[in-house]
Every structure is written in structure tokens, then in C-alpha cells.
């Protein structure tokens, strides 16, 4: 695994852990009692290969009840033979989205890349998080797909300040 791939996976796990801790602990740290029946995360996990045809296609869907949600998705993309191959993937929940454009480098054998995405969205009614990919016509497999949604008590989406 390339160092950049390992770094992406580590950062994604840290972000998920910090978010889960914040959702669970912030009410207690603020002096408010957390609800006694905190909902469990909704988790969808898959490990089967999925060939992505030419054109944008939804490859995973996670149904979510009404409310505020933070959604994480990760997967590995692999191809055999020539390259480079550009893949475009998007995670969308309602009007919120995140995307990545990993490029599989040229190689003589199998080559792969992993990615992680996240979104936050408040659904007025039940909805879904959708993970979609477009392989630009190349023979690509998306494998080890995992999506995790964590219900947020109160969701505030603010502008990120770059430093």
C-alpha cells in the first residue's frame, strides 16, 4: 500500500472516531445530560467486487431516517493492466456532497487506490446517502465498500476557515 493510501485511511479513521466521540460526549461536557437512548450508528458494509460500467453509476445506497446525519464512505478501486485510469466518485446525501478523483497509475499488473469521503446533512424526511463512481470507460472494480452514518443530535454546518 502506498504511503498516501495509508495516510488517507488513517486520517479517515481518526475523523470518524473524533466525530463519534463529539456526537456522544459534547452534551455531557457541556453539563447537559445525554439522552438515555442514543441511537446506534447505521452501518452498511460490503466486500464483494463490483465492476463499474462506463458512465456514472450508484454503487452503494444507505437509507437514513429523518434527522441530522454525518455519513462516511470508503472503498478500494482496482484495475488490471494498462493505465493510467481516472475514476470519479461522489458521496451525496440530500444537497450535501463530497467527491474524489483518484487516478490509478500505469502498471504492468494489478494496481489500486483507496478513497474516503464524508458529508453532513439534515433530512426533513427519510432519505439516503448514495456513493456513485464513473470509471471513464476503463475496466475497474470497486471493492471493500463501507458506508457508516452517525446520527447527530444537532447539526451545524459552518464555513471552514483555511489557515
Q: CA 66, 50, 89, 41: dihedral to nearest 10 degrees?
A: 30
Residue 135 is predicted with a pLDDT of: 80
Residue whose C-alpha is closest to residue 88's, from 130, 49, 136 = 136
The pLDDT tens digits for 35-90 are 555 556 666 565 566 766 667 889 889 999 899 999 999 998 887 666 677 889 99
Question: Does position 10 have pLDDT exceeding 60, yes or no?
Answer: no
Q: Order of strands, edge to edge, in the sheet holding 88-93?
A: 57-64, 127-134, 88-93, 96-100
Q: What would the DSSP string read from start to end of 104-121?
A: EPP-SSEEEEEEEEEEEE
For residue 28, what pLDDT band results from cuts at 50, 70 and 90? very low
Residue 26 is predicted with a pLDDT of: 46
Q: What is the CATH number of domain 43-152?
A: 2.60.120.760
Residue whose C-alpha is closest to residue 87's, from 73, 72, 105, 71 = 105
User: For the chain, what are the domain ranges?
Assistant: 43-152
The answer to whether 129 and 64 are in contact (CB under 8 A) is: yes
The pLDDT tens digits for 89-148 are 999 999 999 999 888 776 555 578 889 999 999 999 999 999 999 887 777 888 888 898
The pLDDT tens digits for 100-110 are 988 877 655 55
The answer to whether 124 and 76 are in contact (CB under 8 A) is: no
Residue 92 is predicted with a pLDDT of: 97
C-alpha cell at 91: 458521496
Residue 79 is predicted with a pLDDT of: 77
C-alpha cell at 143: 471493492
Amino acid at each position: 500500500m502506498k504511503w498516501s493510501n495509508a495516510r488517507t485511511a488513517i486520517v479517515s479513521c481518526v475523523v470518524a472516531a473524533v466525530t463519534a466521540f463529539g456526537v456522544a460526549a459534547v452534551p455531557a461536557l457541556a453539563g447537559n445530560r445525554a439522552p438515555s437512548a442514543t441511537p446506534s450508528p447505521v452501518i452498511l458494509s460490503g466486500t464483494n467486487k463490483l465492476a463499474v460500467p462506463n458512465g456514472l453509476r450508484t454503487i452503494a445506497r444507505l437509507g437514513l431516517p429523518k434527522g441530522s446525519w454525518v455519513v462516511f464512505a470508503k472503498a478500494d478501486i482496482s484495475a488490471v493492466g494498462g493505465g493510467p485510469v481516472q475514476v470519479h466518485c461522489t458521496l451525496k446525501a440530500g444537497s450535501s456532497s463530497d467527491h474524489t478523483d483518484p487516478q490509478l497509475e500505469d502498471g504492468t499488473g494489478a494496481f489500486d487506490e483507496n478513497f474516503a469521503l464524508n458529508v453532513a446533512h439534515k433530512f426533513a424526511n427519510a432519505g439516503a446517502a448514495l456513493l456513485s463512481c464513473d470509471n471513464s470507460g476503463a475496466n475497474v472494480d470497486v471493492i471493500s465498500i463501507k458506508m457508516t452514518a452517525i446520527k447527530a443530535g444537532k447539526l451545524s454546518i459552518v464555513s471552514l476557515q483555511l489557515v
